[in-house]
């Protein structure tokens, strides 16, 4: 196995580097000697493959060594100090940067994912090679994902599509991004994936003949103009084709620009000359030309793109770039991040990681893991617009960004003192949506009162939101503390608790620690400025309070207590709105699989150590539990309503038209419900799926709300969801 790696690196590294790599391989073999992969293969195969991927990316010997050792700290008894002693501090730091936070216990998978991503981002600011190792690690794991359970396959594939592929894109490593996307697509949508594989394979001969004709035509004409070139053609990647089909609501036969022709030349001058020649042969489609040489993408990608009409009237895309640009297009920042004899060539690359530092600045404000992960994914996925300062500097911003986003991108003080804006020398409102190519001039005032809290609903970039919240935290701290305290007291009362009883002692300390907040005043301020959701804060305080004051119950003791009750009198439980037949003082929890609400027929199930779980009678899970042990079933009923709110989930399927989400939000505001969470995702045939979590009082209110949603134009189906 070592032979494969050494053959790869033989002509590229010096003897000293080769010996260190051999030493690292031997060390890794010894560390993992008792371990096997899920496939049954020796574990060492994985780190060796990771090292080969890193070599192919053009990485230095320290990175390749760290690739061989990347699982040693996490999965074996060896420590950071051992690696530092045997190799170097640099190698040990790289391995430690890749290591997950595996020894910390998390409440949810989302918290674990958020903390892992935070650590990854922080490590990246110190050394970008950390994420390159992590990407190589994920790529090999995805290549061997077939050995995992179906559930694990989908979980890893979704995480890859949400985080790792977009990270590769942000770093300009398109070669890895494409493979990660296609592998994730294969496991998340196997039917669609294999359909595309089959259909594209069926037309392979026809496609190769078509591409060959175009390549010969272009090459001959470039030669006539004395332009040396290398030309190849390929179908676009499966996931890219699939996204195009979904976004445009078209079948495969209706997608014409499935082919990309790539022309590599020696100089920038040759790039533009080649473009001119291509346009004389094939008619360009208006509006489908992009000059990424004059205006490179933030991930350093440079190329000319033009979609033209080819033979048989079929459109295809031409990409023209130099060989050096192509190297960057394939491996992005890895192509520029070289460590030779201790010298870091990071001047260019460092500038391109501005987005990373902005994201880190924002994430310090995002204490809630859900908020952090949502913002993180948005930052990775967001399309961009490129606008100019009056002096001609290019500024990249998220799609639909406003002059306020622009102002904060320039400088925090500019944003805080912003009172207006001009676009192309014309006054525009502050919520104006900027477009690529516009010149933006921010108007400021020395007597400006600072940002408005409403700006948080206008801006699109997490950087701007972070800076606006920071201003309110600093300038209006006392006001935010008082506001946050009032909000939490009201929310606590709404949930049936006294805030003073909840927020004290070790209960408060545990919640503050979870949010990484130092004091209760900081907690109040965070709620007051909108950085934390009051409902979530009280829920976490409640969880700690219940753990402390509600001892775990043994179900046998509970059953015995029920059987001893001869009168079977009805007594109220301590959970709002629920009556347990024959028992008092029980811990009650509502099953998340079916989310029962007042008016639903319900049934109780005595759980081991967690009291009575309340299910709807038609819940699939309760049917299975009854089959397993009928003796744990207990009669329950809804008590007299006291205005408590209950969580319920619904799914809306609707046409993807402009304004449909606003119509749904309007319906929510007019109903007897309170919005808890909302999430939208695209589906097939121009349909979007909207998942809504509501806080409601009873099932009648829920039915009324669903009925009103069905009246909205474009809404196809609405139903209550149960897991």
- Hey, which residues are catalytic here? 74-75
b (16+ CB within 10 A) / e for 373-403: bbbbeebbebeebbbbeeeeeebbbbeebbb
What are the φ/ψ torsions at residue 553 (nearest 5 degrees)? -105, 140
Rounded CA-CA distance 672/66 in Å is: 57
- 86 by Cβ neighbours in 10 Å (0-12 / 13-18 / 19+) ranks as middle
Grouping H, G, I as helix, E, B as strand and the rest as coil, residue 313 is: helix
Rounded CA-CA distance 123/121 in Å is: 5
With tokens 């799914």, the residue in question is 651
What are the φ/ψ torsions at residue 517 (nearest 5 degrees)? -115, 140
The encoded tokens of residue 425 equal 């020398």
Q: Which residues pair with 588 in a beta bridge?
A: 612
The encoded tokens of residue 460 equal 């699109």
Short-list 355, 410, 408, 351, CA closest to 379: 355
Rounded CA-CA distance 508/265 in Å is: 64
What length does the chain have? 723
Short-list 419, 408, 420, 486, CA closest to 447: 419
Rounded CA-CA distance 648/616 in Å is: 12
The encoded tokens of residue 355 equal 């987005």
Short-list 653, 703, 647, CA closest to 677: 647
Supply angle C-alpha 105, 106, 110, rounded to 5. 150
The encoded tokens of residue 632 equal 């744990």
Rounded CA-CA distance 409/361 in Å is: 13
Q: How far is the CA of 273 from the CAs of 223, 286, 292, 320, 541, in angstroms?
A: 12, 19, 15, 10, 66
Short-list 132, 64, 125, 65, CA closest to 98: 132
3-state SS, one letter per residue, for 656-706: CCCCHHHHHHHHHHHCCCEEEEEEEEECCCCEEEEEEEEEECCHHHHHHHH
Question: How many helices (H) and strands (E) would you count in the chain?
Answer: 32, 23
Rounded CA-CA distance 332/171 in Å is: 6
Rounded (to 5) percent helix, strand, coil in the chain: 50, 20, 30
Residue partners of 688: CB distance under 8 A and separation at least 6: 653, 654, 655, 656, 660, 680, 681, 682
Short-list 644, 648, 679, CA closest to 664: 679
């Amino acid at each position: 196995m070592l032979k494969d790696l050494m053959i790869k690196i033989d002509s590229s590294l010096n003897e000293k580097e080769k010996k260190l790599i051999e030493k690292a391989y031997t060390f890794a073999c010894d560390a993992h000697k008792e371990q096997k992969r899920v496939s049954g293969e020796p574990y060492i195969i994985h780190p060796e493959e990771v090292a080969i991927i890193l070599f192919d990316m053009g990485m230095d010997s320290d990175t390749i060594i760290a690739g061989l050792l990347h699982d040693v700290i996490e999965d074996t008894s060896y420590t950071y100090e051992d690696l530092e002693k045997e190799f170097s501090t640099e190698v040990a730091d790289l391995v430690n940067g890749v290591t997950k936070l595996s020894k910390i216990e998390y409440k949810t998978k989302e918290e674990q994912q958020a903390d892992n991503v935070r650590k990854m981002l922080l490590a990246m600011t110190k050394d970008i090679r950390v994420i390159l190792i992590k990407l190589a690690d994920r790529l090999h794991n995805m290549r061997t994902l077939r050995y995992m359970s179906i559930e694990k396959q989908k979980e890893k594939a979704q995480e890859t599509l949400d985080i790792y592929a977009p990270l590769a894109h942000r770093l300009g490593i398109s070669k890895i991004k494409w493979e990660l996307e296609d592998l994730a697509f294969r496991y998340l949508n196997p039917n669609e994936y294999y359909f595309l594989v089959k259909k594209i394979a069926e037309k392979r001969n026809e496609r190769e003949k078509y591409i060959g004709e175009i390549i010969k035509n272009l090459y001959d004409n470039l030669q006539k103009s004395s332009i040396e070139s290398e030309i190849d053609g390929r179908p676009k990647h499966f996931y890219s084709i699939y996204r195009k089909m979904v976004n445009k609501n078209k079948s495969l036969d209706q997608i014409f620009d499935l082919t990309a022709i790539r022309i590599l030349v020696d100089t920038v001058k040759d790039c533009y000359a080649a473009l001119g020649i291509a346009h004389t042969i094939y008619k360009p489609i208006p509006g489908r030309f992009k000059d990424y040489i004059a205006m490179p993408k933030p991930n350093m990608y440079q190329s000319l793109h033009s979609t033209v009409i080819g033979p048989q009237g079929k459109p295809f895309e031409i990409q023209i770039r130099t060989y050096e640009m192509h190297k960057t297009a394939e491996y992005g920042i890895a192509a520029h991040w070289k460590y030779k004899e201790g010298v870091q060539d990071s001047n260019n690359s460092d500038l391109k990681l501005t987005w990373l530092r902005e994201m880190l600045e924002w994430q310090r404000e995002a204490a809630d893991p859900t908020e952090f992960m949502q913002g993180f994914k948005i930052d990775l996925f967001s399309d961009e617009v490129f606008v100019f300062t009056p002096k001609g500097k290019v500024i990249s911003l998220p799609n639909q960004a406003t002059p306020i986003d622009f102002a904060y991108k320039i400088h925090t003080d500019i944003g805080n003192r912003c009172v207006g804006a001009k676009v192309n020398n014309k006054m525009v409102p502050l919520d104006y949506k900027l477009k690529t190519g516009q010149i933006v001039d921010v108007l400021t005032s020395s007597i400006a009162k600072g940002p408005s809290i409403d700006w948080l609903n206008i801006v699109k970039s997490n950087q701007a939101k972070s800076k606006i919240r920071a201003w309110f935290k600093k300038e209006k701290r006392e006001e935010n503390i008082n506001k946050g305290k009032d909000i939490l007291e009201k929310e606590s009362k709404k949930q049936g608790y006294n805030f003073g009883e909840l927020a004290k002692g070790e209960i408060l300390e545990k919640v503050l620690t979870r949010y990484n907040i130092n004091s209760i005043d900081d907690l109040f301020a965070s709620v007051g400025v909108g950085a934390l959701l009051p409902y979530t804060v009280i829920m976490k305080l409640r969880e700690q309070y219940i753990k402390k004051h509600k001892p775990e119950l043994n179900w046998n003791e509970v059953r015995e207590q029920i059987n001893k009750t001869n009168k079977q009198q009805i007594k109220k439980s301590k959970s709002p709105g629920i009556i347990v037949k024959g028992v008092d003082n029980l811990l009650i929890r509502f099953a998340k699989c079916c989310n029962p609400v007042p008016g639903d027929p319900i049934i109780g199930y005595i759980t081991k150590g967690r009291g009575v779980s309340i299910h709807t009678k038609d819940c699939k899970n309760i049917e299975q539990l009854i089959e397993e042990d009928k003796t744990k079933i207990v009669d329950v009923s809804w008590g007299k309503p006291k205005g408590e709110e209950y969580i319920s989930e619904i799914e809306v399927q609707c046409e993807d038209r402009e304004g449909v989400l606003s119509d749904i939000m309007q319906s929510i505001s007019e109903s007897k419900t309170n919005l808890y969470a909302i999430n939208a995702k695209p589906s097939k045939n121009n349909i979007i799926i909207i998942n809504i979590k509501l806080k409601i009082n009873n099932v009648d209110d829920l039915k009324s709300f669903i009925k009103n949603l069905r009246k909205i134009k474009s809404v196809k189906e609405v139903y209550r969801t149960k897991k």
